[in-house]
Structure 1
Amino acid sequence: MILSFSWNDKRDVVYSLIYTKEEEQTITKLMQSKEFVQELLPLVGGEENIADATHCASRLRLLLRNEEKADISAIEKMDGVEGVFSRRGQFQIILGTGRVNRVYKALVEAIEIAQTNPSKERMEKAPKMNPFTHFVKTLSNIFLPIIPAIVVSGLLMGLLGMVKAFGWITMDSAWMKMLTMFSSSSFIILPILIGFSAAKEFGSNPILGAVIGGILTHPSLLNPAELGNSTPEYMDLFGLEIALIGYQGTVIPILLSVYVMSRFEKVLRKFIPQSLDLLLIPFITITFTGIVSLVAIGPLGMMIGEMISGSLEYVYQYAGLVAGFLFGGLYALFVVTGLHHSLHAIEVGLLADPKVGVNFLLPIWSMANVAQGGAALAVFFKSKNDKLKKIAIPAALSSFFGIIEPVMFGINLRLITPFIGAAIGGGLGGAYVVGAHVVANAYGLTGIPMLAIVTPLGISNAVHYLIGLAIAVTAAFTLTWILRFTEEE
């Protein structure tokens, strides 16, 4: 943006702003978002019918006081809307990545929705969940904010692997040392990140959660990845011999520790005067939780984590193609319920387990995701509905890059048979990658971007991954074409 000035006929100075092309495009998108919101508000029952609003990667989530006032058919006809549905008390409008952020911001400005804490009305209208659903939803909320850090580490590991494979930089160079540090940092401090996010989700002090994560990854504790080469030291505490083993990269120990911390902190607040809470509550909470974590919770959590990863590895090894087909075919149902993010906890556990050290589940999930795009391509070529054809291609491409909500909720679930075709295609692709032993070194990426975290583990690993993608997309496309579908008016 440049400030310029000139003179008019009366020799008065006239100031003007000259925008760059990128700035003009940004302003245009913001104006379009504001216009979209003004068109949307009457269709959802007006401003007074919106109790709260949030958004995720591709969906605008509205809490409506009366959903019957919403004109779903009219909203679906709006430019840029890829689908509308309601789930667990939320009215959700699929807008796609990037655009949803701008629309949400315009909506917040238009009706002054609080962007920080959940509203009281949202809490009151939130549907009751059974214990299992509540547990899985909690895991999802904890791990969603951490995904960018893990994705960065995975991409850096991919870059590091290519640098090593092609010899672009010598191994002892400063660049290689920095890349190695950058790529492993997220996994080293993972308990700290999880501690912060978990404490926030459990209603405790996030900083104290991070401190507990720091205790479990303290340099004085031996990294569990080095157990094969080093012997841990022991300390005598109340007559107990406690092994000084750390929990770098682990999940369950820090989750259990922060949960205990949050419960203990809430109990303390009932008895300690408010005038002393800043001094006493953090001191007592950290001391108590730290001792309990090192003595009991940490070892117990490590044992549970090893049991889970060991069980999955057993199924992976002996159920083979059947497991791949079932996992790949059923994964879409996890996405429908919104519980798929909870699987990140299991994936992190696989990566942290020295006996496993790789993520063999993510390639299966990736097959399920791209299969949704293959089914949408078949819809594009067979459909006579201009609205479906308009959103089918961008939604399919979005799924190839790991975002499947637009294609799933906007097309496949509405037409049913494409969803079935995609499920079978994902199962076939999942069976192939399991049979070929395709694995990844991180989590959070699927589709084409996932090549960055499968290539470092070998060229053949990447080739088999690409073959799996081709099988999933082709099978989903073919089955959707054969099964046909009844178009919506």
Structure 2
Amino acid sequence: MSVGHCATRLRFNLKNDKKADTEFLQNLKGVVGVVNKGGQYQVVIGSDVKNVYKQLLELGSFNNNDVSSEKGEDKGIITKALDTIAGIFFPIVPALTGAGMLKAVMAIAVALGWLSSKSSTYQFINYIGDTAFYFLPILLANSAAKKFKCNEYAAMAIGGVLLHPTFTTMVANAKKAGEGLQLLGLPVSLVSYGSSVVPIILAVWFMSYVERLADKIIPGTIKLFGVPLLTLMIVAPVTLIAIGPLGNILGVGLGAGVTFLNAYASWLVPLLVGALTPLMVMTGMHYGLIPIGINMLATTGYDTVAGPGMMVSNIAQGGASLAVAIRAKNKDVKQLAGSVWITAVLGITEPAMYGISLRFKKPLYAAMIGGGAAGLFIGVMGVGRYAQVAPGLLALPSFIGQDGFANVIYAAIGCAIAFIVSFIASFMLGIDEPEQDTKGSGDKAEVVIDVASSGVIYAPIKGRTVDLKEVSDPVFADGIMGQGVAIIPEEGAVYAPVDGVVSALFDTKHAIGITGDDGVEILIHIGIDTVKMNGRCYTAHIQKDQKVKKGDKLLEFDMKAIKEEGYDLITPVLILNSSDYAEVLGITDKDIKVGDALIKIAK
């Protein structure tokens, strides 16, 4: 199994996705939604995904190798194709986005007269912005090698073969002289591979088979240099003679097909992309648009397929969510919608999509209406972008071209149409929101727990209780893993807070999971980042799956030694399945001893 993340999601490649507890994840505090499409199992977190990812890597054993094509997988051809496309293009998006935004900023500076296109500063910034696109074959070689399970550096060398100055000079001179080139007596097409997409992907795919064959036939004593030598001797010539030209023809053909659509039905693709992007994102099919857009930028310098339609679709999600924020009566829904519409407008739609649109359905319909209306407009007006940037409001500078501001003005009008139409449609449709819990309004009152009642979690550690917000780790502080309280320990011993079973005991002994007899799931996390201590200073008195009674000693830890190594001993006590309870009330700002009532849960 491997795991990665994007701006809002954890992305898992699972050997068996049927073992994933989707229902539990969907109900987990901090999880916006779960998607199992496009060859990936995706857990939508939101802007805190980096912090969750960091904790996940510390708690689990993961690798960076894609397992999606291992034997035993039962995935359809479309799913495999989408998984391959996603795996190849997703890792390089940050490089292209950074370069694209730099080109967009430079276009603004030139258009406003802040920078002359003849200045040396312009030349420097221009080539810096072009670098990621020109060396695209090398970037793609690395990510493609990981997908096709061959050596990344050998693959990057093949990408370098296509871009080497000697080869590009030979091609330029041959074109100028009207002559041809030959390698091993066979003709080499006079093709420039800078910024190309398809040729290197085909070359690395071919290389994956050659490398495996070479590894089988070359004796073990000379594998170290024999395998890469034979691979390079076969793949490089075949790529220059056959694969590269074929890939170039396919790339040009793809661009010609899009040009044909733009000439005879320019409104069609942006309309469909603008309306259907939410559905494509849910299924992972939007990955199919990314290489088309990048290929258009590489071949024509102008993308009318992926960027414009996805931009107005994202902004439509923002408009629909803002309408929910204004119209909703439920405090939680209003607060959520009031924040996610901003991220949607800026190009990150997963929180709005899974938190609002898919949850209530009607905002989704409104977003599709607004995105389709805006897509139709920008399609009729022939709007396209000149750089690869994240599709949101901040992408507008990438629509500034060499012919003035007409293109970017139409793009801005399209954004306005998307936002306004979706807002009006969402406001009129409304949502079927949950009932508002009006109990306990006003200032926060002191929590008093009746120890005679059921649903009481008792203090596992002696110390001072504080609010989770005082924990320095945002995964705990923001309640992403569940509600609860934190304890600043005064003694180095942890006791069972309820009767139950030890459901988790990490090898590092820094955290314990207890599942109570009534089903409550409790995590006691002793210290922050203490996983790095690898179990030093911790002594466990129990084992995983062991039955425990309230007050049984679970483990001991050396407070002094842990503090001397610079770790914070604050200990979050969390209810992992908080979503199963109507109330999770904890006592804070109080000195407690082991066995005192700490948290009250109620269904």
Match among 231, 240, 243 for residue 297 of structure 1 = 243
Instruction: Give 1:471's match in structure 2, choosing from 417, 435, 446.
Output: 417
Alignment deviations for residues 203-242 of structure 1 (CA, whole Å, 9 cap, x no partner): 0000011111111112233489989x95675223454332
* Alpha-carbon distance between aligned partners in 2 of 1:69 and 1:321, rounded to the nearest angstrom: 39
Once the two structures are TM-superposed, the CA of residue 52 in structure 1 deviates from its matched residue by: 7.2
Q: Displacement, 1:108?
A: 2.9
Q: Which of 439, 450, 455 is the matching residue for 2:395?
A: 450
Quote the residue 1:438 is aligned against: 383
Structure 1 residue matching 2:407: 3-state secondary structure: helix
- TM-score normalised by L of structure 2: 0.66
Shift of 1:320: 2.5
1:357 aligns with 2:306: no
Give the secondary structure class of the aligned counterpart of 2:383. coil
The correspondence of residues 6-45 of structure 1 with structure 2, limited to 5 A, is none
Q: SS in structure 1 opposite 2:187?
A: strand
Task: Give, in whole Å, the separation in 1 of the partners of 2:157 and 2:310.
Answer: 33
Shift of 1:74: 4.9
Larger radius of gyration: 2
1:1-150 equivalent positions in 2, closer than 5 A: 54-60=4-10, 67=20, 71=24, 74-75=27-28, 78=29, 81=30, 83-88=32-37, 92-97=42-47, 99-109=48-58, 111-117=59-65, 128-150=74-96
Q: Following the alignment from structure 2 to structure 1, what is the Cα–Cα distance between the partners of residues 238 and 26?
A: 56
Cα distance, 1:92 vs. partner? 4.8
**Residue number in structure 2 paired with 1:258:** 204
Matches within 5 A, 1:322-401: 322-353=268-299, 356-361=300-305, 362-401=307-346
Give me the CA root mean square deviation.
Answer: 2.9
CA distance in structure 1 between the partners assigned to 2:177 and 2:339 by the alignment: 54
Q: CA deviation at 1:179?
A: 0.7
Asked if structure 2 preserves the Cα contact closer than 8 Å seen for 1:158 and 1:456, the reply is: no
Which amino acid letter does the alignment assign opposite residue 202 of structure 2?
Answer: L
SS of the counterpart of 2:365? Answer: helix
- Structure 1 stretch displaced more, 250-259 or 340-349: 340-349
Letter in 1 for 2:273: F
Q: Which has the higher contact order (CA 8 A, sep 6+)?
A: 1
How far is the alpha carbon of 1:90 from its aligned partner? 7.0
- Match of 1:485, SS state, is coil
Measure how far apart 1:144 and its partner are.
0.8
Identify the match of residue 311 of structure 1 among 243, 246, 257: 257
For the 8 Å contact 2:321–2:337, the answer to whether it is kept is yes
State the one-letter code of the partner of 1:250: S
Q: Tell me, yes or no, if the aligned pair for 1:190 and 1:250 is still in contact at 8 Å.
A: yes
Return the alpha-carbon distance in structure 2 between the equivalents of residues 166 and 224 of structure 1: 40
Evaluate the alpha carbon distance shift between residue 367 and residue 218 of structure 1 in structure 2; reply closer, same or farther with a 3 A threshold. Answer: same
Letter in 2 for 1:351: L
**Structure-2 residue corresponding to 1:22:** none
Give the counterpart letter for 2:56 in structure 1. L
Normalising by structure 1, report the TM-score.
Answer: 0.80
Of all paired residues, the percent bearing the same amino acid is 33
Could you tell me how far apart the structure 2 residues matched to 1:366 and 1:318 are?
Answer: 23
5+ long unaligned stretches in structure 1: 1-50
Structure 2, unmatched stretches of 5+, are 436-603
**Partners of 2:389 and 2:412 in 1: how far apart?**
18
Q: Which amino acid aligns with 1:113?
A: S
Q: 1:231 to 1:134 in 2, by over 3 A?
A: farther
Q: Which residue of 2 aligns with 1:35?
A: none
Query: Contact 1:222/1:232 (CA < 8 Å) preserved in 2?
Result: no
Q: Give the 3-state SS of the residue equivalent to 1:403 in structure 2.
A: coil
Q: Identify, as 1 or 2, the structure richer in helix.
A: 1
**Partners of 1:187 and 1:224 in 2: how far apart?**
22
Structure 1 pair 239/286, CA: closer, same or farther in 2 (3 Å)?
closer
Matched, 1:220 2:166: yes
Please tell me whether the aligned partners of residues 82 and 410 of structure 1 are also in contact (alpha carbons under 8 angstroms).
no
Q: From the superposition, tell whether residues 268 and 145 of structure 1 become closer, same or farther in structure 2 (CA, over 3 Å).
A: same
What amino acid does structure 1 have at the position aligned with 2:298? A
SS of residue in 1 equivalent to 2:375 = helix
Q: Is contact 2:370–2:422 with CA below 8 Å preserved after alignment? A: yes
TM-aligned CA distance change 1:176 to 1:317, over 3 Å: same
Shift of 1:66: 5.0
Aligned mates of 1:189, 1:52 — CA distance in 2: 27
Which structure shows the higher strand fraction?
Answer: 2
In structure 1, C-alpha distance between the alignment counterparts of 2:128 and 2:204, rounded to whole Å: 26
The Cα shift of 1:370 comes to 1.1
Question: How far 1:281 moved relative to its partner?
Answer: 1.0
Cα distance between partner residues in 2 of 1:414 and 1:402: 20
* CA distance in structure 1 between the aligned counterparts of 2:171 and 2:181, rounded to whole angstroms: 20
Q: How many residues align?
A: 429
Distance 1:382 1:326, change over 3 A: same
1:440 match: secondary structure: coil
Task: For 1:417, give the aligned amino acid.
Answer: K
Structure 2 residue 107 is matched with structure 1 residue 161: yes
Q: Which moved more, 1:214-223 or 1:202-211?
A: 214-223
